[in-house]
A and B are shown apart, each in its own frame.
Chain A
Amino acid sequence: MLLRIIDVDSSADCTKLWQLIPKDYLSDSLMILLTKDLSDGIRSIAVEYPYVDKDYRSTYYGFYSKRHRMYDKFCFRLHFFGKHFASGNWDDRVGESYLGSMVLRPTEVATLGRTLLSPRAIKGFKGYICETTFQNNIDGTELPIDTFPHIMQDTDVTVCAHAVCWMIARYYSERYCVYPERLTYDIACAVKDVSLGRTIPSRGITLGQVSEVFSSIGFHPELFVRELYEDRGSDFFYDILYSYVESGIPVVAAMHGKEHAVAILGHGEVLSAVDTIETLNWKEPFLPARRCCPSFVTNDDNRLPFSFIYFDDESEGAYRLSDVDGFAVPLYEKMFLSADNILKMFPKWTDGTLVELEPAPTYVSRVFMTSSRAYKRRLAASKDMDPLLRKTQIDLPMPKFIWIVELAKPVLYDRKKVSYRWVVDATANPYEKFPFLLIHDSSKMIIYDRTYRDKIYEVTFAKRLSSFPMFENNLRRYA
């Protein structure tokens, strides 16, 4: 039921919420986060009570109802709007000004429940994130919201790694019907390894147990541990992480030293490649696009959604990327070839025996995965590519997921264009000599029909290939 709509002129006015909501649901520490991090563009907050939150109810029936102390079964839910609304007068403007919702649980400690806030509701947020549409409603009015879900640990049943698994699982279950919805209590119960003792009340879990949680939901997780890549510094480890994030696959980043985990679900603003090469005095033939992204976007359950983790030790923020010791990637079954394989392979294809790149001191390399359906859909709509190259890729049978390697001269990269784009079979074996579906240079393309004819073709372009637009589909930009 809608209790009241509160007018606010800045985030500092969130303290008005205490007129309605007890501190058991809205603690001092959460109020500090709201007043500090919410956008000053919020004009109205609608307060709902009693609200039945399915995630809180799952922990209520599984755990809180077993305590001697009384806990409320109901939650508050807040809806945020960018315009002023009089109580109950929902009109056509309501959807366009809707900035999302948050649930407040009566758990006294870490009360922020399921949060579906638009990045526009966060002060000064600029970056790229994976998101999907959630359907909220108030008084029977549908309120769709595009976002990535967020929740705080409750410190009883769930800890931060459970919260992060929940965020990622809920994102996937809302976006793809192949993944089942899992409530917070289900996530906590998914850990089956009890060799270190009982799992509820939780005393924390390991990265290996995160992998168990994902496996129980139907993912095929891949694990990467920094220590194994330190023989060459941490750059390769970061490049692998970036490839998955650029693929629109959120990951669980584990910080053993900090005893914490966050979801990495996007990256911050992209810097100029020309400037980056100059700043780093870069002399290598390939500059990983990751070098042009000084930060990743995280959902940290200690904070509101959409904070940043930086590479740079000088930057503000609670954590550095150097705190990340490992990460778990929830992959789809048929994503066999992993990012480290493809990052090692593609530079070798340019040795001149297969394709020959135009001479340039450095190419910016952007490596990511996408679905062949999304890729072909984008090709079909794109007219700024050589017609034969475009039609060939649309014709060629492809697996459900493909790796894409984009190579761009730095000046082109800054204009969101690329010189070459190679397509690789994500179901390939890493030891295969020819795992690609199509690679090309400016004068010819090599096409491998891996599934129907099992033949490799070489086709010469009628005229030298010119640059074409970068593929941007996996992440949404907020500027």
Chain B
Amino acid sequence: MNREIKVEYCFEKNAKVLERDSEELVAYAKHFEKDVLPEIVEIERKKASAREFAYQLRVSGFCAISPR
């Protein structure tokens, strides 16, 4: 029995498959390594520190309860 299930997306008929070594993807990959990745590394580092900072942020003491 043929177990292959045929799936065809609506866009596939007119689609061009971009190979990983295609010009567009390689160009973006270089751009990513140079310009995007360093920023992502930096913000991920910030999020790791946020956990330590969060335990220093006392967010509710005895709050005034009268209307302001």
Question: Chain B, interface size: which category?
Answer: 35 or more
Please choose the segment from A285-293, A337-345, A467-475 that sits at the chain B interface, where 4 or more of its residues have CB less than 8 A away.
A337-345
Asked, given contacts A206-B58, A207-B54, A208-B55, whether A110 binds B40 with beta carbons under 8 Å apart, the answer is: no
| Contact among B12, B39, B53 for A225, CB-based, below 8 A | B53
Asked, given contacts A206-B56, A302-B63, whether A447 binds B15 with beta carbons under 8 Å apart, the answer is: yes
**Residue on A with the closest CB to B18?**
A456
Question: Contact at A302–B65, with CB atoms within 8 Å?
Answer: yes
Asked, given contacts A344-B36, A353-B28, whether A392 binds B61 with beta carbons under 8 Å apart, the answer is: no
**Residue on A with the closest CB to B57?**
A207
1/0 per position for A1-40, CB-CB distance to B under 8 A?
Answer: 0000000000000000000000000000100110010000
Question: Contact at B31–A348, with CB atoms within 8 Å?
Answer: yes
Question: Contact at B53–A227, with CB atoms within 8 Å?
Answer: yes
Question: Contact at A155–B62, with CB atoms within 8 Å?
Answer: yes
A153 CA to B46 CA, complexed, in Å: 32
1/0 per position for B1-41, CB-CB distance to A under 8 A?
Answer: 00000010111101111101000110111011001110111
1/0 per position for A257-272, CB-CB distance to B under 8 A?
Answer: 0011100000000000
Q: Which residues of B contact A458 (CB under 8 A)?
A: 15-16, 18, 24
Quote the shortest CB–CB distance from A188 to chain B (angstroms).
Answer: 12
| Contact among A206, A207, A228, A261 for B46, CB-based, below 8 A | A228
| Contact among A161, A162, A208, A433 for B32, CB-based, below 8 A | A433
Q: Which residues of B contact A229 (CB under 8 A)?
A: 46
| Contact among A159, A252, A395 for B61, CB-based, below 8 A | A159
Quote the shortest CB–CB distance from B39 to chain A (angstroms).
Answer: 5
Question: Chain A, interface size: which category?
Answer: 35 or more
**Residue on B with the closest CB to A444?**
B16
**Residue on A with the closest CB to B10?**
A391
A348 CA to B30 CA, complexed, in Å: 12
Question: Contact at A433–B39, with CB atoms within 8 Å?
Answer: no
Quote the shortest CB–CB distance from A78 to chain B (angstroms).
Answer: 18
A residues 68-114 near B (Cβ < 8 Å) are 109-110
| Contact among A29, A259, A445 for B65, CB-based, below 8 A | A29
1/0 per position for A224-264, CB-CB distance to B under 8 A?
Answer: 11011100000000000000000000001011100111000
Q: Which residues of A contact B63 (CB under 8 A)?
A: 153, 159-160, 259-260, 301-302
Quote the shortest CB–CB distance from B15 to chain A (angstroms).
Answer: 4
Whether, in the assembled complex, A460 has its beta carbon less than 8 Å from a beta carbon of chain B, the answer is yes
Q: Which residues of B contact A204 (CB under 8 A)?
A: 58-62
Question: Contact at A455–B17, with CB atoms within 8 Å?
Answer: yes
Question: Contact at B67–A260, with CB atoms within 8 Å?
Answer: no
Question: Contact at A392–B40, with CB atoms within 8 Å?
Answer: no
Asked, given contacts A430-B44, A433-B29, A456-B18, whether A318 binds B68 with beta carbons under 8 Å apart, the answer is: yes
Given A254-B59, A353-B24, 18 more pairs with CB closer than 8 A = A29-B65, A110-B65, A203-B62, A204-B58, A206-B54, A208-B54, A222-B47, A224-B50, A259-B59, A302-B66, A303-B68, A351-B28, A456-B18, A457-B11, A458-B16, A458-B18, A459-B11, A459-B14
5 of the cross-chain contacts (CB-CB < 8 Å) are A110-B65, A210-B59, A260-B60, A261-B59, A457-B11
A-B pairs with lowest CB-CB distance, top 4: A208-B55, A259-B61, A254-B59, A457-B15
